[in-house]
Amino acid sequence: MRRRISLLGSTGSIGRQTLDVAAACGFSVAALTAHRSGALLEEQARRFQPELAVCVDPAAAADLKVRLADTPVRVASGPEGLLEAAALPSADTVVTAVVGVAGLEPTLAAIRAGKRIALANKETLVCAGELVMDQAEAHGAEIVPVDSEHSAIFQCLQGCRDRGEVRRLILTASGGPFFGWSREALAGVTPAQALKHPNWSMGAKITVDSATLMNKGLEYIEAMRLYWMPPEKISIVVHRESIVHSLVEYCDNAVLAQLGAPDMRLPIQYALTWPERTPGPAQPLDLLNCPSLTFQAPDYDAFPCLGLALEAARTGGTATAVLNGANEAAVALFLEEKLSFPGIAERVGLALKRLPVVQKPSLEEILEADRAARALVTHL
């Protein structure tokens, strides 16, 4: 098993864990990209010796160029640099570990170049899932999910010859740090509290999304797009322990689940090695020493983001891009302490109510819906 990886978002949580997997499995790295962090990107470039390193921020790229002047690594910048890394001829696989809608155009570039996409950047499928999946089919690009729930479903679907036999996909949700809290108690949540996740260590945006349960809403839409499933065939259960990563219920009532320690290196690795499995760095699961497994219904009243995402999923068209853009802007305001925790759902709800929906949108219409949602949320 050999892979040459272009890693978009190498300095983030998924990016760093991808490099752990690459080192353990002996995969080579063709390109590394980050938004700003020059020092970490320099360290990664020295260790993995890619042909290209990209800092989207031009000033950070200029600094990186100086840092890497004694190496053969070429440095590029801007969104063009990201697109170049996504379509680099020497890479066979692109790991999309950028956060937010910024990952959409590079993912499309990688698809057009026929790469395997190890997809962590769920916002891409939320905003433009139908377009992305259609393009992947047209260009023969494989999309293999990195998100742990979708990887679990992907694993449970191996050997399924007829998707008509699938009755239901069941996504598990950890419930986040505020599971069991009332609406009233949630009103005073601070960014520091929201950034403490019980089971996973992740980037700031997805950690807040996990606290509002918007993350599960985004994953619901991601599952619809990845597996061409209607909303009524997907359900969500809260599973506090994050051991059962998701399940597939078949028409004969068999339920298949994938279990594992909460360690993203396993789904990252599977996205790279599929259809093969190889030994890797992920933690093993010790059944005799793991907590009892529990399952509960989500609280839609205390966590309105989840209901808003399901509503956008049913509306379809640009509604999911509006949901995502509004959420990205609202989470940024919350992290800057300019918006309360319940304010995130309020602003996303307003954006969904006020902005028009275009069905079967073009890429330009999707990007326009994203821009309009951000502007509305930011200037309220």
Task: Tell me which residues touch ligand NAD (CB under 6 A).
Answer: 9-15, 34-35, 37, 56, 82, 97-99, 102, 120-123, 147, 200, 202-203, 206, 264
**Does 370 contact Mg ion by CB under 5 A?**
no
Distance of CA 371 to the CA centre of its chain: 20
Q: For residues 105 and 142, which CB has a smaller minimum distance to ligand NAD in the complex?
A: 105
* 147 assigned to a ligand binding site: yes
**Shortest spacing between CB 156 and Mg ion, in angstroms:** 15
**Shortest spacing between CB 25 and ligand NAD, in angstroms:** 19
Q: For residues 163 and 371, which CB has a smaller minimum distance to ligand NAD in the complex?
A: 371
**Does 147 contact Mg ion by CB under 5 A?**
yes
Pairwise CA distance, residues 96 & 117, whole Å: 7
* Cβ-based neighbours of 274, under 8 Å, separated by 6 or more: 144, 154
* 315 assigned to a ligand binding site: no
Nearest alpha carbon to residue 124 among 140, 139, 138, 109: 109
Neighbouring C-beta atoms of residue 337, cutoff 10 Å? 10
76: which strand partners?
Answer: 54
- The helices-and-strands tally (H runs, E runs) of the chain is 16, 11
* 221 assigned to a ligand binding site: no
**Torsion angles phi and psi, residue 265, rounded to 5:** -65, -25
Q: For residues 189 and 236, which CB has a smaller minimum distance to Mg ion in the complex?
A: 236
- Residue 34 site contact among Mg ion, ligand NAD, none (CB < 5 to 8 Å, cut-off depends on kind): ligand NAD
Beta strand spans in the chain (E) = 4-8, 28-34, 52-55, 74-77, 93-96, 116-119, 143-145, 166-173, 234-238, 244-250, 255-259
Nearest alpha carbon to residue 54 among 82, 29, 73, 30: 82
* 14 assigned to a ligand binding site: yes
- Residue 120 site contact among ligand NAD, Mg ion, none (CB < 5 to 8 Å, cut-off depends on kind): ligand NAD
- Residue 121 site contact among ligand NAD, Mg ion, none (CB < 5 to 8 Å, cut-off depends on kind): ligand NAD
Given the rule CB under 5 A, which residues bind Mg ion? 147-149
Binding positions for NADPH are: 11-14, 36, 121, 123, 203
Binding positions for 1-deoxy-D-xylulose 5-phosphate are: 122, 148-149, 174, 197, 210, 215-216, 219
Binding positions are: 11-14, 36, 121-123, 147-149, 174, 197, 203, 210, 215-216, 219
